[in-house]
Structure 1
């Protein structure tokens, strides 16, 4: 496959980017930012260097065993200049073609991606297209479940269908090494009649739910540890992992229309991952449309009790009792869970609701000043629900919480004028200080990467990654499609391989 230059800014994707910007209410301003701009490539890639390098004081990290779910701690780089670290794009998609790309995982050398019925590993530091994979793991059918979690040894799990047939069930689980694409083990299981499945990781354990029960497997040996069956009118709807294992249970309420969300009542069970024993059960109040799990330990639930969006967060204690309720004040505060992931049974992917240091972080809704959009991030105390620390974006910029890094909060600082740079920053919940990791600009074709409903955004090993959840061909003709992009500090090095 040929691989030419990056897309021109004068392509059809310009129209798409403009529509997306209007949708997000961005306004272009004519001011010139006081920054140093270095143009590297024909595609308009920008390096930004605005501040002196921060101190490289390492953040504290709890010791982890090789079978724990990875909790990475990032260190501010020596240079705040951002550079392209990786690109994955395609120019041979047919008009109207759609390809599912569920799951994005990163190691220090590999960006791994689910693509329909395969997992592929792409070398970071390259400008890649389909066919340039370091490894490719073909599955018997399409991926139908995944988890965002990765072990300390860079392993994860996916669910997949038994074949490519339309009636094929989601009834296989595989545990995979992301460094080399090796399948550690694979198991088939019996899926329920509704094919409601979910997979996650917690210490030494891969857990799977089916609508007629749940089961778990040992990470090393692949042997089944336990299996439970559904009871009565209740079904296991999903599993959330990380530091602990929570199972979401949906029960049908008698006397309610079966087609209405009001007919469903939710429970959340904390489960011993090695035995399957229920440790506690939390009964969610009736009238809730949806429940997601931003964190399992401490346990934090996001519930949707209104017509749209999440309305409150519930903080639970070690016995499953409600510690505090954090109300999102009619949309004044915003937290998203990955709605696209619900098609794959993921209930614990809430990328803008990080939890750590006894707090949960939310951003305010955007203040839609036509000339100076802004917002802020607030930390809420999990014990009381009270606000603790506020981080203002400043005028003409927006802050988006991303993930915890030890006791620090990583956030994406977006520019509202496409002139001043974007930035990956660290926010200290104790002091209120902000530390820049690196500044960068995005080519016009890549600006849509910040749309969280269409792209995965994650930080790993000093790099910021954007990756599509689905690849869509052009409306007509031939066009470059950007599928993934990685950014790192220029002090670390930039993309080494080109075509």
Structure 2
């Protein structure tokens, strides 16, 4: 990821709250957040496990993703896992010559697709069957009846020994498999057991979800909102979409609009003097949220007036509760991110930050003066987390701080290794942070995930999610809460894999796999998208994962619920396959659109409005789907 050039200005000398030494261009640096804590977690590197020799694929070609391999001389394995190519009826049963390992083959180097590559002591789970050095069929002795009688007795003894060895070997394999994160290493989305103990792949006891399973998942289009008109050669941010029991709310061009969640009719409109530039994804229990917006409309002479205004919005009543600004050294702060945690709105950027009471707008706190640190921004939800940046431009260091919502007091702090310039927060409880460590051609904002203890600030585990294997993305430099393709629940990290060849000749597909946030190891759980579909996790529903399946050219998209224990998929919604509908849906990509599923309805919305694109293709601002039974 290319790095921004150093800023033209330098911080003032002394201990005042001056600008930091390293900032992206055209930004005003601000103050650090709180006194840094002396705590720092070392990155101990455990010894690397020995490499495992590759194994030949079974008859019929290379195995599918996650198919267990059978060591030489082992008993006949059970039926192959989902996705393994089947031999056509009447085909010869003799195995073809050995071929190189296929996609996802455990012997493939470098690295097994969807498995951690042992940078932090992770070891892939054991596959296959226990091997025995005992002969399976005793050889007959010399000629004569006496010799045959002796060998028959030997055969009985050897068979008994082999049976005992297999039982013992099975116990050993069971324990090894359990140590790697699950009793059933081959559990899949089609109904694998996944285990259920604290150390197993099932994730223990999971909380039931709120989303109801329908008798008929087929949906219909509830409404479509045309894209708003914008001036020529203009792109305007329309970030922000929320859903309550009373309204579906979406930012428009210089306004926020509440719609009837089923009919799409406008319920209310909040006009704004300028465009919404940042919108919190979070709401509190009273359905209050927050936005940051510009004080005036863009013009050709001045395309941006700065994202300086902060406001709280009552999503049920359709009211703007208050508008506030904050200053650093007499200059208004330009906010790059905004979030909500309980009763607090926190907004930050490279020129400073501030926190406000969500109901009254009263300023609660600002980062404490520090000439070498400043807050990149904040992440909300159950906890409030600040991402602070300290040090010079050449060797920056990020401080991940859990802070008190009302006072800004630092509760715990984790200092990342020097050189990591930006981080995104996937979850604040448990605290899970993504960062791009080093330069990666395939990664977008994430190569590694850090599981951190909220109370102590100590690193629990670091998980490698390289971009050539996983499709999680954390866009933006200071947006802090802008990760897609990855969610956290059940003390697990659920991450989308990269696309790969499916079972068909032209089909592409992918999976969602799970990592244990305590050990960093894969649990063995895997949810398959199915041939020609790709699957993306959206959010948690209790202990279940809500995921969207992007469809092939002749199908509609799907919403599925994935059981956090068994990883069994249940279809909650399937959209129409009509081309006119599908064309609108497939333009709303999960990594670039706002997608909300709740209460049996799916809302897909754009983040930008523009006049760019084909004039022959009608563009839409929002498309909503609901089940035909509702």
For residue 249 of structure 1, report the CA deviation from its aligned partner: 1.0
Contact 2:487 2:540 in 1 (8 A): yes
User: What's the C-alpha RMSD, in Å, of the aligned pairs?
Assistant: 2.5
Contact 1:99 1:472 in 2 (8 A): yes
Contact 1:93 1:474 in 2 (8 A): no
2:272 is the alignment partner of 1:272: no
- Out of 294, 310, 315, which is 1:173 matched to? 310
Contact 2:560 2:570 in 1 (8 A): yes
Q: Which stretch shows the higher mean deviation, 210-219 or 289-298?
A: 210-219
Deviations 1:339-359 (A, max 9, x none): 4xx5xx531132321111111
CA distance in 2, matches of 1:102, 1:270: 26
Give the TM-score, by structure 2 length.
Answer: 0.60
Mapping 1:402-421, distance limit 5 Å: 402-416=538-552, 418-421=553-556
- Out of 592, 599, 604, which is 1:461 matched to? 599
Contact 2:335 2:347 in 1 (8 A): no
The verdict on how the C-alpha distance between 1:444 and 1:428 changes in structure 2, with shifts beyond 3 A counting, is closer
CA distance in 2, matches of 1:114, 1:185: 17
2:258 is the alignment partner of 1:121: yes
CA distance in 1, matches of 2:292, 2:473: 24
User: What is the DSSP-based 3-state SS (H/G/I as helix, E as strand, rest coil) of the residue aligned with 1:333?
Assistant: coil
The verdict on how the C-alpha distance between 1:125 and 1:235 changes in structure 2, with shifts beyond 3 A counting, is same
Contact 2:536 2:590 in 1 (8 A): no
Mapping 1:302-451, distance limit 5 Å: 302-305=434-437, 306-307=439-440, 308-309=443-444, 310-318=446-454, 319-339=456-476, 345-369=478-502, 371-388=506-523, 389-416=525-552, 418-441=553-576, 443-451=581-589
Contact 1:426 1:436 in 2 (8 A): yes
- Out of 224, 229, 233, which is 2:368 matched to? 229
Q: Which stretch shows the higher mean deviation, 210-219 or 288-297?
A: 210-219
For residue 90 of structure 1, report the CA deviation from its aligned partner: 3.9
2:213 is the alignment partner of 1:81: no
Contact 2:244 2:287 in 1 (8 A): yes
Contact 1:107 1:461 in 2 (8 A): no
Larger Rg: 2
User: What is the DSSP-based 3-state SS (H/G/I as helix, E as strand, rest coil) of the residue aligned with 1:466?
Assistant: strand
Q: Which runs of 5+ in 1 are unaligned?
A: 1-58, 62-71, 257-262, 493-499
For residue 168 of structure 1, report the CA deviation from its aligned partner: 3.5
Query: Which position in structure 1 is the counterpart of 2:106?
Result: none
Q: Which runs of 5+ in 2 are unaligned?
A: 1-205
Mapping 1:103-114, distance limit 5 Å: 103-114=240-251
For residue 150 of structure 1, report the CA deviation from its aligned partner: 1.6
The verdict on how the C-alpha distance between 1:394 and 1:169 changes in structure 2, with shifts beyond 3 A counting, is closer
Deviations 1:15-41 (A, max 9, x none): xxxxxxxxxxxxxxxxxxxxxxxxxxx
The verdict on how the C-alpha distance between 1:293 and 1:78 changes in structure 2, with shifts beyond 3 A counting, is same
The verdict on how the C-alpha distance between 1:330 and 1:176 changes in structure 2, with shifts beyond 3 A counting, is closer
Query: Which position in structure 2 is the counterpart of 1:24?
Result: none
Contact 1:292 1:303 in 2 (8 A): yes
Query: Which position in structure 2 is the counterpart of 1:200?
Result: 339
Number of aligned positions between the proteins: 408
Give the TM-score, by structure 1 length.
Answer: 0.75
- Out of 477, 485, 499, which is 2:623 matched to? 485
Contact 2:588 2:605 in 1 (8 A): no
The verdict on how the C-alpha distance between 1:464 and 1:230 changes in structure 2, with shifts beyond 3 A counting, is farther
Query: Which position in structure 1 is the counterpart of 2:22?
Result: none
Query: Which position in structure 2 is the counterpart of 1:295?
Result: 427
CA distance in 2, matches of 1:430, 1:478: 47
CA distance in 2, matches of 1:391, 1:160: 39
User: What is the DSSP-based 3-state SS (H/G/I as helix, E as strand, rest coil) of the residue aligned with 1:445?
Assistant: helix
Contact 1:449 1:466 in 2 (8 A): no
User: RCO higher in 1 or 2 (8 Å CA, sep ≥ 6)?
Assistant: 1
